[in-house]
């Protein structure tokens, strides 16, 4: 279960203090898939990063399975993140000099877990068999995003945080990726999808809007 309790996050821009997240609370149970919509600068990415343990809130707590994420030190939080949280981004963020299969296996650098033939399963599942030895620069946008998604799912995390994942994809690949998120959720995972895309949001169980750091 994910419990976000009264989190607030400020940014300092020059002498101006900007409130990115304003006393936001949210509770998500296993298998929930929500979409968060909002304009640029509304605080959606900040919320995603805060939930993902990357951005410490100024106030409030994030509880994942009753673990206060920010009570952990940096290394413990990194280990927790590696095992419990998957990230997928609009810009894919693949490691340019690693092949598809190596990129999918990259989380093993962070945490040594026994995964058996998990990499091959994911390659198969996301239709990347033909491309597994290719570098990211040799892939299409859809293949890149599928690779990024496979990487996020390597350790079967509890939570999947997806930031505009269909933003650079054609409809076919968008569908494939959203279906994968749906499947992940159906298997008991929590999905938070940040998107502008109505059709993408429609795949979620619930759509919320964030504006000026307030979720509604």
Partner 1 sequence: MNTFKLVNREIFRRKVNYLIGFAIVAITTAIVIGTLSLLKIHDLQTAQILAQKEAELNERVLVLQDDYRKISLELGFNLLIIPEGQNLGNFYADDFASKYMDESVTDKLVSSRTLTIQHLLPSLTQKIVWPEQKQSIILIGTKGEVPYLYRNPKKPMLQPVPDGGMVLGYELHRILNLKEGSKVKLLGREFTITKCNERRGSKDDATVWIPLKDAQELLNKEGKINAILALKCHCASGTLTNIIQSVKELIPNVQVLQKNKEVAIRAKARDRAKREAKEALKAEELSRTELKNEQLRFAKVLIPLVIITGAFMICLTFIANVKSRQDEIGILRTIGTKQHTILIMFLMKSILIAIPAAVTGYLIGIFTSTISVENFELSELFGTFALIITICLAGLISTAASWLPALYASLQDPAKIIQD
**Strand runs (DSSP E) across 38-113, as ranges?**
59-64, 67-68, 85-89
Task: For the sheet with 16-28, list strands across it.
Answer: 16-28, 2-13, 59-64, 67-68
Of the residues 1, 18, 55, 208, which one makes contact with partner 1 according to CB under 8 A: 55
13 part of the interface to partner 1, by CB under 8 A: no
52 part of the interface to partner 1, by CB under 8 A: yes
- In the shown chain, the binding pattern of residues 59 to 98 toward partner 1, with x for contact by CB under 8 A and - for none, equals ---------------xx--xxxxxx---x-x---xxxxxx
**Least distance from partner 1 to the Cβ atom of residue 172, Å:** 25
**Of all helices (H) and strands (E), which one includes residue 25?**
strand 16-28
Nearer to partner 1, 21 or 203 (CB): 21
Nearer to partner 1, 163 or 203 (CB): 163
Helix (H, G, I), strand (E, B) or coil at 156: coil
45 part of the interface to partner 1, by CB under 8 A: yes
Structure tokens at 183: 């499947």
**Least distance from partner 1 to the Cβ atom of residue 64, Å:** 14
26 part of the interface to partner 1, by CB under 8 A: no
**Least distance from partner 1 to the Cβ atom of residue 71, Å:** 17
* Interface with partner 1: number of residues (CB under 8 A): 31
Task: For the chain, give the number of residues.
Answer: 216
Nearer to partner 1, 143 or 163 (CB): 163
- 154: phi then psi, degrees, rounded to nearest 5: -50, -45
Structure tokens at 13: 């821009």
141 part of the interface to partner 1, by CB under 8 A: no
49 part of the interface to partner 1, by CB under 8 A: yes
Of the residues 1, 63, 108, 208, which one makes contact with partner 1 according to CB under 8 A: 108
DSSP states along 179-206: HHHHHHHHTT-EEEEE-S-HHHHTTSSE
Q: Answer positive or negative: Cα dihedral of 119, 187, 92, 113.
A: negative
Of the residues 67, 111, 125, 134, which one makes contact with partner 1 according to CB under 8 A: 111
Burial group, residue 100, by CB count within 10 angstroms (0-12, 13-18, 19+): buried
**Residues of this chain that bind partner 1 (CB under 8 A):** 45, 49, 52, 54-55, 74-75, 78-83, 87, 89, 93-98, 102, 105-111, 135, 151
């Amino acid at each position: 279960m994910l419990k976000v309790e009264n989190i607030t996050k400020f940014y300092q821009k020059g002498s101006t203090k900007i409130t990115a997240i304003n006393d936001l609370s949210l509770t998500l149970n296993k298998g929930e898939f929500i979409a968060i919509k909002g304009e640029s600068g509304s605080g959606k990415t900040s919320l995603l990063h805060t939930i993902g343990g990357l951005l410490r809130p100024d106030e409030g707590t994030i509880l994942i399975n009753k673990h206060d994420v920010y009570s952990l030190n940096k290394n413990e939080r990194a280990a927790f993140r590696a095992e419990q949280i998957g990230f997928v981004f609009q810009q894919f963020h693949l490691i340019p000099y690693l092949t598809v299969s190596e990129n999918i296996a990259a989380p093993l650098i962070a945490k040594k877990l026994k995964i058996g033939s998990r990499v091959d399963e994911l390659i198969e599942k996301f239709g990347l068999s033909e491309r597994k030895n290719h570098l990211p620069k040799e892939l299409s946008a859809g293949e890149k995003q599928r690779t990024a998604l496979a990487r996020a799912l390597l350790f079967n995390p509890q939570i999947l945080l997806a930031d505009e994942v269909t933003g650079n994809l054609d409809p076919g690949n968008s569908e494939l990726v959203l279906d994968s998120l749906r499947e992940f959720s159906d298997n008991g995972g929590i999905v938070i999808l940040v998107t502008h895309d109505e059709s993408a949001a429609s795949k979620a169980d619930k759509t919320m809007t964030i504006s000026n750091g307030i979720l509604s």
